[in-house]
Each structure stands twice: as C-alpha cells, then as structure tokens.
Structure 1
Amino acid sequence: MAQIPPDSLPLRPTPTRFFDLLHTRLALEPDFARQALSGLADLSLVPYFYPQSVLQLAAKRMEIQQVELLRGAEKVPLSFQHEGQKLHIVLDKSYTRQDTLRLSIAYIARPEADWPQAHLPSHEKGLFFINPEGKIPDIPTQLWTQGQSESASCWFPTLDVPNERATQEIYLTVEKNLLLSLMGSWSISAKTPMAPAPITGSWTSPMPLTWPPLW
C-alpha cells in the first residue's frame, strides 16, 4: 500500500480562536441576472477567552455595505475595513467572556466578479449560479452553495473554520418557480398571495452545526 511521506503535506494547525460563534441568522435574496446574492447576516458571538475589541471575519468575493452593532432595538454603526479575504471590525468597546456581541452585516456576494485582491483560485467560489439567464436548454436555472471546508465565507461573513459550530437560521427569498432545498426541511411563506410574487423559505437548526450546502 502506497504511503504519503509525512513531510510532503503542509501543516495546517487549528487557528487560534478569539471569538466563539453562537448563532447566525441569514436573510438572502439572489439576483440571477446580476449573478449576485444580497444578504443580511446577524451574528451572535462571545470572546473565546481574553477580552476583545476587534473582530476579524472571513468574507470572500463580496462587497461589505454596512456593519452595525445590535444593542436591543438600537443599531450602532461600526468602523470596518475589508481587505481581500478578511473583514476587520472595530468594536465599540472591549468585550469579555461574559458579554454577548450581536452584529448585523449587510453585503452583496458576487462569485463571478473579478476580485484580484482576494488572491483566490478561480474555482474556489462557494456560490454558484447555474444557467442564470435560462438560455441553455434542458439545464434548470440553479443557485447552490458550498460550505466545506472554508467556502462558506464566499456567501456570508463568518468565522470560517471547520471546527466552528453554531445554531443557524436561513431565510431565502426567491421567485415562485424555484425550488428550495437544504438538508432538513424548509418552511415556505409567500410574501403575497398573488403569483408570481416571490416566496420566502426559512430553515433553522437548533443544534450547533457547521454549514450545510444550500441549493
């Protein structure tokens, strides 16, 4: 049996953890004509051990529009810098392990756009529009995503490491002629009773999970 020499593979240690992601809520709406995904990500986190005043998230192939701190009904804009694959957020204060931090991030993911500063291989997109204009016969118009191993951050900002687990909610709004599918089941509610109005499907996971694919 062939064996791989131990020195032939790069060492990939578990990244140092500064925050623990508790819950993610995503409100998503795809634009097939523009091959873009508009999203609002609400994240709940706590510092993993030491107090933290800065948060770094993975955010690839996307435009960050706004970052807000959710403090009850109040929304406080936060300073941020998006460079390449990382989103750096300056918090309003230093948070300890006794504090729960809630953030809201508005963004647009564009998997087909040219992102030279991200230094990502062209095949690592995490978000795929298939036949978006419906011009190819016998191939349905589709949108599907990939989460493993660190591709979830191509369709929403997150702590994108394989050993990070959190409870999750997804709300996806699409046209009525599209089918929603994900591991588990969707709850469908129409925006209006009139076809062909968009519909919104919701999916929740009460158990902490890594991210499953959505299509």
Structure 2
Amino acid sequence: MIVVAPAARSDLHAAVAVLAAAFEHDPVTGAVVGGPPTDRLERTHHLFTGLLRPALADGTVDVARYAGDPDILGVAIWEAPGAVTSIVRLAAQLPSFWRACGPDGVLRAATIKHAIDRHRPRRPHWYLQEIGVAVRARGMGVGGALLEARLADVDASDAPAYLESSTERNRRLYRRHGFVDVAPVRGVTAAPMSMWRSSLSERSARTEPTPDPTV
C-alpha cells in the first residue's frame, strides 16, 4: 500500500535526492540550472534544496512511501492559493539557487521563472510546482497516489489547480486526474504545456473554463 502524507523537516534530504534524480534530464530544469551535463545532478540537488525548505514550512510538500517503509518513493511540491514569496524567504533561498545556477545563471533562471509565471492564471489556484518519483518506483502508481491525496483537499475547498508538464506521458496522468491542456508556455525550453483543473463545482456542472492569465 502506498501512503501519502505531508513531509516533515527530517524528510528534506531524502526528498531532495528523489526530485534531483527525477529531474536531472528534464529540459526545463536543465535550462534553469545550466552548466555541463556532468554536474547537472549536483546543480539540480541545490535547486530543489532551495525550493523545498520553505515549502516544507508551509506544509505543502507531500511524500509517498510504502506502508511501514521509511524510504521516500515520490515527492510533490505544491503552492497554495495566494502564496506570496517574501523578501526574507527569497534571501533564504538565494544561496541554494546560487549554487544551482552559478553566478551567471541566476538572471537566466529568473527570466525563465518570469516566463512561467506570466502564463499562470490570475485566479487563485493550487499550483503543482514539481512532482517526482524515485527510479525504482516508477510505473507503480506513486505519481497518481500523490495527486489523489492533495487533489482530495483541493476539491474539499472547491478550488482549481494548475501545472505545467514537459512530457506527453505525464500529461496523460494529469488528464486522468481532471486536468485539461491549456497552451504551451512560450519562452521556456521545450515549451511545456500548461494544464488546468477546474474546481469541483465547475466540473460537476460540466464546465471547463480556460483560464485567462490577463484577468
């Protein structure tokens, strides 16, 4: 049985390792961290350290395990509706991002993030930042379990959700959980597809409004 629960602070290093391995060869992550492929894993490790620390404090990181097994099989980082990145939080993240991107890459990474943020809907929503599964656990339903756990809470609050996906394989998983394709994210390597999941009440009414980032 796969058990999903909010991550604890003690899960940080294991969760970072799972995500770094999962995204080592991802084209968007590669564009963010830059550098030669030989040190891509190390850079990606620093990137997710910076992303995970504040999200752990917010309680918006989920981890999946087999019941009774301490090893982490998968990790999902979410951002709650209305979340705001404070200057204090950004300052705490900067050392990890600096190690991930290098002194010449921080501006590049900020440009990519700006392009991604520009496509996000203005309407408050849950945002799936990242989801990754350990190599040994792929194809075993871990990603689906992570989605189901958090989306149950999202539906309970009648909120919509949003994400970007770089691969058709992952998009098939998201579609099975109620997400629909919106549009490619222009200005980002590989132009990942933005995807939207309407609130429970909207889905019950069989409406699938396409989010407009300008409103």
- What TM-score results when the alignment is normalised by the length of structure 2? 0.29
**Bigger Cα Rg:** 1
TM-score, with length taken from structure 1: 0.29
